[in-house]
């Protein structure tokens, strides 16, 4: 590896299976000490052990991004280990309500905003001093859903579009303190979760999982879907010194489904 994140401390909120796990492992391989944070203690301990077994450094800490006291406790835990944070990834996720707005409970939209948008704001506020000390980089994980208005995606789009707006404002406000704030907007991420979804579609409508994949891939310029690694790599770039002049930007990673 290149040591892209050598001697850096990276906090990953929402370090669950799939993208979060891959990001933690790859950031550690690049030299970072990774703080993996999510709600499930057992899963976090497993991930931290996996990082350590691979020769990396990891700290596991539970957090509920919707609970201000929990987010504050996370920052206090991190402060016990370091006096500077160099990267914060806000990736807390919950399965959104996939209904037209006319049939969507307002509470479901509110819950999505509280987790994705307000959760990211809480975390960024709590870590601002540590990020300033590390001239850190904040990465918000949005979604390519911000570029379309397909039926049943409205609640999710509302939350993720608001997250992008939050990132823009934070980039402006925190820039004078040496903190960069950017957003990554992935399209479909071809990992275990999406594969299982494709299997269910194949069973429901007939055909094979590969048929479903090819149908989805036809919409992409590259005629394929991005892998977890291909989403992680741009995040690593934004967390590193190689993006030191990049802030307030939204990077769509979707193999060319949308042109932004």
pLDDT in tens, 178-223: 999 999 999 999 988 899 989 999 999 999 999 999 999 999 999 9
Percent share of the chain, pLDDT over 70: 100
Q: How many residues does the chain have?
A: 260
Longest dimension (CA), the chain: 56
Query: Comparing C-alpha atoms, which of 227, 216, 197, 228 is closest to residue 257?
Result: 216
With contact defined as beta carbons under 8 Å apart, do 142 and 187 qualify? no
Q: Is the pLDDT of residue 47 over 90?
A: yes
Q: Tens digit of pLDDT for each residue in 152-186?
A: 899 999 999 999 999 999 999 999 999 999 999 99
Residue 1, pLDDT score: 64
Residue 95, pLDDT score: 75
């Amino acid at each position: 590896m290149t040591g892209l994140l050598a001697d850096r401390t990276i906090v990953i909120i929402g370090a669950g299976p799939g993208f979060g796990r891959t990001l933690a492992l790859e950031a550690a391989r690049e030299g970072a000490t990774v703080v993996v944070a999510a709600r499930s203690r057992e899963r976090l301990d497993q991930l931290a052990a996996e990082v350590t077994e691979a020769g990396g450094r990891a700290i596991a800490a539970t957090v509920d991004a919707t609970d201000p006291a929990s987010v504050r406790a996370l920052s206090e835990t991190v402060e016990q280990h370091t006096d500077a944070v160099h990267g914060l990834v806000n990736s807390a996720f919950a399965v959104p309500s996939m209904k037209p707005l006319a049939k969507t409970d307002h509470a479901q939209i509110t819950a999505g905003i509280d987790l994705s948008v307000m959760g990211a704001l809480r975390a960024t506020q709590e870590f601002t001093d540590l990020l300033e000390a590390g001239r850190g980089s904040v990465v918000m994980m949005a979604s390519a859903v911000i570029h379309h208005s397909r039926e049943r995606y409205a609640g999710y789009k509302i939350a993720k579009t608001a997250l992008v707006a939050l990132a823009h404002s934070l980039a402006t406000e925190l820039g004078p303190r040496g903190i960069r704030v950017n957003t990554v907007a992935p399209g479909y991420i071809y990992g275990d979760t999406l594969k299982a979804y494709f299997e269910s579609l194949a069973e429901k409508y007939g055909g094979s999982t590969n048929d479903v994949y090819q149908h989805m891939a036809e919409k992409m310029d590259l005629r394929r879907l991005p892998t977890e690694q291909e989403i992680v790599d741009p995040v690593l770039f934004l967390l590193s010194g190689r993006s030191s002049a990049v802030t307030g930007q939204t990077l769509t990673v979707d193999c060319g489904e949308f042109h932004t």
